[in-house]
Amino acid sequence: MKRDVLVLGAGMVGVATAIHLVKRGMAVTLVDRRGAGEETSYGNAGLIQREGLHPYLFPRDLRSVIEVALKQRTDADYHISSLAAVAPFLWRYFRSSNAQRAAQTFAANVPIYANCLEAHQALMEEAGSTNLVAKRGWLRLFRDAGDIPAAERQAKELRDLGLGADMISMEDLNELEPHLRTDALEGALHYRDPWNCSDPSALVKSYAALFEKLGGEFVQAEIAGVTRDGATWTVKTNGSELKADQVVVTLGPWSKRMLDVVGLKLPMGVKRGYHEHFKAAGNAVLSRPVLDSEYGFVIAPMARGLRLTSGAEFARQDAPKTPIQLQKVLPRARDLFPLEESLDAEPWLGSRPVFPDMLPVVGPAPGMPGLWLHFGHGHQGFTLGPATAELIAQMISGETPYADPTPYSAERFKGH
């Protein structure tokens, strides 16, 4: 059977893409080696970050660079054995982490972030999963008063767009989160617009169930390769071959490997990250995620327990697991909130796909008619998946896109 579209990858980005295409009357098959939402989309902090327009920049000041190089920081680490493999991407990332590029990325983010909450709301209402999401925002905590002015400048840019991002007093912080220990803090910034998901994987699975309810097909199979014969694309799997007029690559951090084989070289890297769940002591409760700005970890309330997330690790995607960042920040996390024993047998490890300019690729594959690209959202695939899925579905179906897709085109990498 020949489909209209094959969507490869069933994370948040792929599932949302499949829904938006099937809603446009297309015969869509979603393909993944695992169930929906069981890889990168499983392991995030559960935030739908309406305020997340500012890109995550690689540190450029000399002190921070030296601290990263000497492996003294907890928000960024690397594998020495992987340096040769990751150095080209890190150099591009470092070069792009400047004020001019950050301003361009911020501007390009405005229209897609403006759509992220509404896009999720529509899907979760139709999927019957609004119970998985609370609308409480999140808190950025500062141990060093010197970090506050830069954060306040960013908060003002958000307020200029009509978003809620305000410094709050310690009294207000204690009222919001009475079980946080605030004696080591110099300030707190409350982002009011973001939503919090208590089970990110379950939300993706609810969207996948909606996709099938709408008439879409899910095939669980290992993807072995993609080839084109005339106007037909064939996806080889460890089962049968799947054929379609069009293919959308939504494989997240695995996208580059597949595209390298078909001759499309894009400067994508991966950021690895860890999480582990902990039990709260006694009757302690955390109502919304909190970020420790100095040490780069998040504590987020989840259905399973309190999820402690690490900073970024730069290594080959298949390098051995080294959760040293979690080990280093756990005492700091316990300084903030009374975490007891771990609820997991071992920390979870996942990878995020990221481009040097910190924008996703959304649009056609250059020189490959019928092949579409939708990945590279960095930290924000869970947030942006439904919003950019609508954008690419409009492009595939020939509609007028709700935002200019030029900033997200793969053509931007030509000559680089």
Q: What is the pLDDT of residues 188-229, one digit of tens each?
A: 999 999 999 999 999 999 999 999 999 999 999 999 999 999
Whether 403 is in a domain gets the answer yes
Place of tokens 């959760």: 323
pLDDT in tens, 82-110: 999 999 999 999 999 999 999 999 999 99
First-to-last alpha carbon distance for the chain, in angstroms, is: 40
CB-CB contact of 55 with 102 (8 Å): yes
CB atoms within 10 A of CB 215: 12
CB atoms within 10 A of CB 172: 13
Q: What pLDDT was estimated at residue 381?
A: 98
N residues, the chain: 416
Tokens coding 398? 């020939």
pLDDT in tens, 175-188: 999 999 999 999 99
Whether 12 is in a domain gets the answer yes
**What are the residues whose beta carbons fall under 8 Å from the beta carbon of 3, sequence distance 6 or more?**
27, 28, 29, 217, 242, 243, 244, 245
Instruction: Report the pLDDT averaged over residues 36-65.
Output: 94
Enter the DSSP assignment of 35.
Answer: -
What proportion of the chain, given as a percentage, has pLDDT over 70?
100
Q: What pLDDT was estimated at residue 254?
A: 97
CA distance 269 to 216: 31
Residue 341: pLDDT band (50, 70, 90) is very high
Whether 214 is in a domain gets the answer yes
- Residue 236: give its domain's CATH number: 3.50.50.60
Whether 121 is in a domain gets the answer no
Q: In the chain, how many domains are there?
A: 1
**What are the residues whose beta carbons fall under 8 Å from the beta carbon of 143, sequence distance 6 or more?**
184, 185, 186, 292, 293, 294
Instruction: Report the pLDDT averaged over residues 55-76.
Output: 91
**Domain that residue 252 falls in:** 2-41+201-268+356-413
Burial class (CB in 10 A: 0-12, 13-18, 19+), 100: exposed
pLDDT at position 160 over 70: yes
Q: What pLDDT was estimated at residue 59?
A: 87
Q: What is the mean pLDDT of the chain?
A: 96
CB-CB contact of 159 with 167 (8 Å): no
Whether 130 is in a domain gets the answer no
Tokens coding 105? 């990325």
Tokens coding 177? 């989160």
pLDDT in tens, 232-250: 999 999 988 999 999 999 9
Instruction: Look at residue 69 and give its three-state secondary structure.
Output: helix
Q: Is the dihedral of CA 278, 282, 287, 293 positive or negative?
A: negative
pLDDT at position 327 over 80: yes
Whether 126 is in a domain gets the answer no
pLDDT in tens, 8-27: 999 999 999 999 999 999 99
Whether 136 is in a domain gets the answer no
CA distance 53 to 158: 8
Report the number of secondary-structure helices (H) and strands (E) in the chain: 11, 22
Dihedrals phi, psi of 389, to nearest 5 degrees: -65, -40
Q: What pLDDT was estimated at residue 60?
A: 86
Whether 114 is in a domain gets the answer no
Burial class (CB in 10 A: 0-12, 13-18, 19+), 39: buried
Query: C-alpha distances in angstroms, 231 versus 243, 245, 398?
Result: 10, 6, 17
CA distance 416 to 407: 15
pLDDT in tens, 161-173: 999 999 999 999 9
Residue 2: pLDDT band (50, 70, 90) is confident
CA distance 69 to 176: 38
pLDDT in tens, 373-399: 999 999 999 999 999 999 999 999 999
Instruction: Look at residue 301 and give its three-state secondary structure.
Output: strand
pLDDT at position 416 over 70: no
CA 163 to chain centre: 21
pLDDT at position 144 over 80: yes
